[in-house]
Each structure stands twice: as structure tokens, then as C-alpha cells.
């Protein structure tokens, strides 16, 4: 009897979480702002931008990014969530850095993936790319994006704020929340809480959360 009751409690919790994810996605999409078809396009720094997934099969969107000087795209979502297809003559390099939580699967998969921690190695790789962009003297500019431009993008920008721009974790966290980060995504939230702000180093590996 106790086992059956425990099972129904777990099932009910899973249903509530699944419904919450669906509602949040609906609300998020209903508030999405677009710039040349690109959701949540914002400038982070002189040579760094962030956004949601640029539209596929829309060369004009990529031309617009090209006009902004974008040379490198840090893509933190999976290919089935959105395809990055800049025209070859745009001179834009797409870096595939997909991390969890993977979205746009069925509801149960979406819920399960919210508790999976992202691959820190992808974040470290992204930090190295941003450092190279920042060291290019304006010759390179980067776009950071996931699907909606809030959560995977948000935590990466937060980490970069600390490691590259020297912000405090508190200041970075405030920006993350202001830009739509969802703390209920436990995998991302755990990674953020375990992330250690360095005292005298910008080495992303030195700040690696525990696995």
C-alpha cells in the first residue's frame, strides 16, 4: 500500500512539473521579441551578442547578423531544436556546443532533461572561444544562443560575466534572472550554484563544478 501511494505521489509530482514546463514555454513564447526574425537579440558587450535560435532558411536574418559583425556563433542547443544555416559567404562559423536541458522532445523527456547537468566541457570550450574573440581587437564578434535565449544562453553568459568580464556571481545572477533564466531547471541551477568564481584566474577549468 505504501509503495503504491509513493508511486502515485511521484507520478503526481511529475505531472505538475510537466504542466509547469508547458505553461512556462507558452508564456515565454508569448512574450518573445524579435529583431529581424531573431528572438531576444541583445548586445552583451561591444563584440558579444545573445539571442534565441535564428530562423532556419532565412538568409536575411543571417545577413543582419553579418551586418553586426558576427563571425562566431556559439550554439548551445541541439540540431533538432533549430538549424543554424548561415550562407557560406557570410563568413560566420558555427560552434556546436549543445548542452542539456534538451528541449522540444516529448513532455516526459523535456521534464527528465531539466534535472540533467550540462556538459561543463562545452562551457569551457565556449569561454575559450569568447576569450579569442575578445583578444581579436574587434576583428571578430560572437553570438551566443540556445533555443529561446534564456536558460542555456543565460547561464553561459553568467559564467562568462564572471570569468571574462570580472563580475561578481551576484551581479551575474541578477542579469540572468532579469533576462529570463528559470531557476526551476535543476540541472542548470545546480551547475550555477556549484560554479566557483575564481579569485585570480580566468581559467574555466579551475572553476569547474563538481560532477
Instruction: Give the model's pLDDT for residue 127.
Output: 98
- 103-142 pLDDT, tens per residue? 765 555 567 778 999 999 999 999 999 999 999 999 999 9
Round to whole Å and give the CA distance between 106 and 148.
17
The share of the chain scoring above pLDDT 70, in percent, equals 76
| Cell numbers found for residue 186 | 535543476
pLDDT for 45 beyond 50: yes
Mean pLDDT of 12-40: 65
Q: Are 107 and 22 in contact (CB under 8 A)?
A: yes
pLDDT for 100 beyond 90: yes
Instruction: Give the model's pLDDT for residue 183.
Output: 95
Mean pLDDT of 47-58: 96
CATH class of 2-207: alpha beta
- 158-202 pLDDT, tens per residue? 999 999 999 999 999 999 999 999 999 999 999 999 999 887 544
**Of residues 58 and 207, more confidently modeled:** 58
Q: Where are the domains of the chain?
A: 2-207
Q: Which pTM does this prediction carry?
A: 0.82
Confidence of residue 98 (pLDDT cuts 50, 70, 90): very high
Instruction: Give the model's pLDDT for residue 31.
Output: 62
pLDDT for 94 beyond 70: yes
Instruction: Give the model's pLDDT for residue 108.
Output: 59
Confidence of residue 26 (pLDDT cuts 50, 70, 90): very low
Mean pLDDT of 42-69: 97
> What's the per-residue H, E or C state across 133-174?
HHCCCCCCCEEEECCCCCCHHHHHHHHHHHHCCCCCHHHHHH
77-80 contacts at long range (C-beta below 8 A, 24 or more positions apart): 77/53, 77/102, 77/103, 77/145, 77/146, 77/147, 77/152, 78/102, 80/104
Instruction: Give the model's pLDDT for residue 3.
Output: 66
Amino acid at each position: 500500500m505504501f509503495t503504491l501511494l509513493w508511486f502515485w505521489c511521484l507520478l503526481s509530482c511529475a505531472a505538475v512539473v510537466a504542466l509547469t514546463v508547458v505553461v512556462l514555454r507558452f508564456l515565454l513564447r508569448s512574450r518573445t521579441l524579435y529583431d529581424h526574425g531573431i528572438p531576444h537579440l541583445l548586445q552583451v558587450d561591444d563584440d558579444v551578442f545573445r539571442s534565441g535560435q535564428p530562423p532556419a532558411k532565412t538568409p536575411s536574418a543571417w545577413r543582419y547578423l553579418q551586418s553586426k559583425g558576427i563571425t562566431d556563433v556559439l550554439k548551445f542547443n541541439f540540431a533538432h531544436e533549430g538549424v543554424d544555416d548561415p550562407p557560406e559567404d557570410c563568413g560566420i562559423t558555427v560552434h556546436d556546443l549543445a548542452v542539456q536541458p534538451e528541449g522540444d522532445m516529448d513532455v516526459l523527456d523535456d521534464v527528465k532533461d531539466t534535472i540533467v547537468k550540462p556538459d561543463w566541457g562545452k562551457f569551457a570550450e565556449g569561454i575559450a572561444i569568447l576569450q579569442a574573440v575578445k583578444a581579436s581587437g574587434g576583428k571578430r564578434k560572437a553570438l551566443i544562443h540556445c533555443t529561446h535565449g534564456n536558460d542555456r544562453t543565460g547561464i553561459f553568459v553568467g559564467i562568462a560575466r564572471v570569468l571574462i568580464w570580472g563580475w561578481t556571481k551576484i551581479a551575474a545572477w541578477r542579469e540572468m534572472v532579469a533576462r529570463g533564466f528559470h531557476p526551476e531547471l535543476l540541472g542548470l541551477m545546480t551547475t550555477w550554484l556549484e560554479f566557483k568564481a575564481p579569485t585570480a584566474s580566468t581559467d574555466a577549468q579551475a572553476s569547474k563544478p563538481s560532477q
